[in-house]
Structure 1
């Protein structure tokens, strides 16, 4: 069965593959296992697959990938090593080693950068003769070109732009600074209560900003729920409060925005609704699906965000 991984695209850089003797020791910045495939990003931004994960995608035993590494610099090059290096030579340079060894939490990890991983995947998808399998071909079709790199970045929640001075939390912090004390005493507002959702989205890789304002979606659904269930009769009337957006948001042109705030006695009901109705009831999934359809999010990001915020349901034992 093919390992199912959704992925998107990007241009391969010659700087992806680093030598085995960098000037400073590399570390693992992010790592995650998905369906038995371990992937991650090194401290210099290099995305990678581990040896077992790469073997699974190529539909071969782990030892076959290890042999490629051990024979990489043999004088008498085996045909498969020659072919893999020829593939690498077409897209960039051939690295001095097939993998990068990194000690992480006391264990040595064998990290295969994306260029090397794709060259090996291409070999087993096309050139491996009797060792070519349909599974290897399917996985290569899904991840060929630049898709593997972007998929890894998305799945582990790594923003390569943040390595160049970009603070992915900046726009959220700007809104917090403008609005953290906006609601009148005795009331709460959805923006401040959405902090857990927003934080998890940022960690998962979302660029929270003027085009991605999830608290608007939450607020609209909660307002509808409030009205449909006449919650003002139970908790008291809600009020409007001034909400402001940072200057680089198009919404700022009409600052301050009037937004609903709710009586504090309703906070418990809101939090239950957020978990049961919005997150687990499908509304959050619908919001992310809409962003994917518009091209604002990669499908793999939506999957990661859902896994972070929507817990796996534990089935209750059946009564006999």
Structure 2
């Protein structure tokens, strides 16, 4: 089975995949629950070949009646993707993921429209009608979608506890002055941590601004201070880290630069790199940028970060 994936799907990975009671299921990196083709077949009470037969004729000019019925059910709910599954390469093998709308459309067909109705599909459709598909998969996998966000909050507060007492009087640190950017990231579902340190990106670009415009002539010299990472960060092994603190006199200039230069231009580029290395999904990156830019009066992006 070959396909041209939607651009947003190129950034998806399999977060977790298991087989529960013979049903293959998992969770994608954007939190979407799914069934494998085999798992969907088991839930529908049919052979996997039946499901594959439907997908094989999905884009026929005149698809078989059962294919058209399932496609219509999906179209009625706004589904317009080229195929009813997402294909993802993991460890050299191709995995096919069928997300909630697709699974429910197949179940509904086998439960109520196929002749005869498939009793297994009827039973499972009723189960999922009582619980959402997402809750059903999350419960089976013991998955807590908020766990990563809780960890991000913990790490953020760990850094606050260390940084707030380490900056010399009369100076400001990049981490403290950009806390609102990191708060927005966490609120939108991004999880800054040891591999995702936004203040490092901001500090690098601000350093170029500082040196390039010889701002020390206007505000005074910046100084180095000892910056510590919490023990939960691998960077802590080389503590203390050398970091720059800037004169309080430059604070207003920095805030204006942060709004007009970094958030307008530097942040979109930074988030694109995080989408490219799969630290962030494109939807979360776009939502984060939209929230931050709207908060300071910048028009939100018109296209999804990482999309064409």
Q: TM-score, normalised by structure 2?
A: 0.57
How many pairs does the alignment contain? 215
- Which residue in the other structure is 1:56 paired with? 78
- Which residue in the other structure is 2:124 paired with? 94
Hey, what's the Cα distance between the residues in 2 that align with 1:253 and 1:263?
Answer: 29
Hey, what's the Cα distance between the residues in 1 that align with 2:153 and 2:135?
Answer: 30
- Which residue in the other structure is 1:208 paired with? 192
Hey, what's the Cα distance between the residues in 1 that align with 2:115 and 2:213?
Answer: 67
Measured after TM superposition, the shift of residue 295 of structure 1 is: 2.3
Q: Deviations over 1:276-305 (max 9, x none)?
A: 111112x11211221222222222222122
| Ranges in structure 2 where 5+ consecutive residues have no aligned partner | 1-5, 22-30, 34-72, 82-100, 301-308
- Which residue in the other structure is 1:162 paired with? 147
SS in structure 2 at match of 1:240 = strand
Measured after TM superposition, the shift of residue 260 of structure 1 is: 0.7
Residues 1-320 of structure 1 mapped to structure 2, 5 A cutoff: 6-7=8-9, 8-10=12-14, 11=17, 55-57=77-79, 77-79=112-114, 82=117, 94-96=124-126, 99=129, 113-114=133-134, 160=145, 162=147, 167-281=151-265, 283-311=266-294, 313=298
Distance 1:54 1:243, change over 3 A: farther
Q: Higher relative CO (CA 8 A, sep ≥ 6), structure 1 or 2?
A: 1
Hey, what's the Cα distance between the residues in 1 that align with 2:7 and 2:115?
Answer: 26
Distance 1:166 1:233, change over 3 A: closer
SS in structure 2 at match of 1:310 = helix
Distance 1:192 1:294, change over 3 A: same
8 Å CA contact retained: 2:190, 2:285? no
8 Å CA contact retained: 1:241, 1:258? yes
Distance 1:275 1:170, change over 3 A: same
8 Å CA contact retained: 1:12, 1:115? no
SS in structure 1 at match of 2:169 = coil
Q: TM-score, normalised by structure 1?
A: 0.55
SS in structure 2 at match of 1:280 = helix
RMSD: 4.3
Hey, what's the Cα distance between the residues in 2 that align with 1:159 and 1:5?
Answer: 27
Hey, what's the Cα distance between the residues in 1 that align with 2:144 and 2:268?
Answer: 22
8 Å CA contact retained: 1:204, 1:301? yes
Measured after TM superposition, the shift of residue 197 of structure 1 is: 0.9
SS in structure 2 at match of 1:241 = strand
Distance 1:13 1:307, change over 3 A: farther
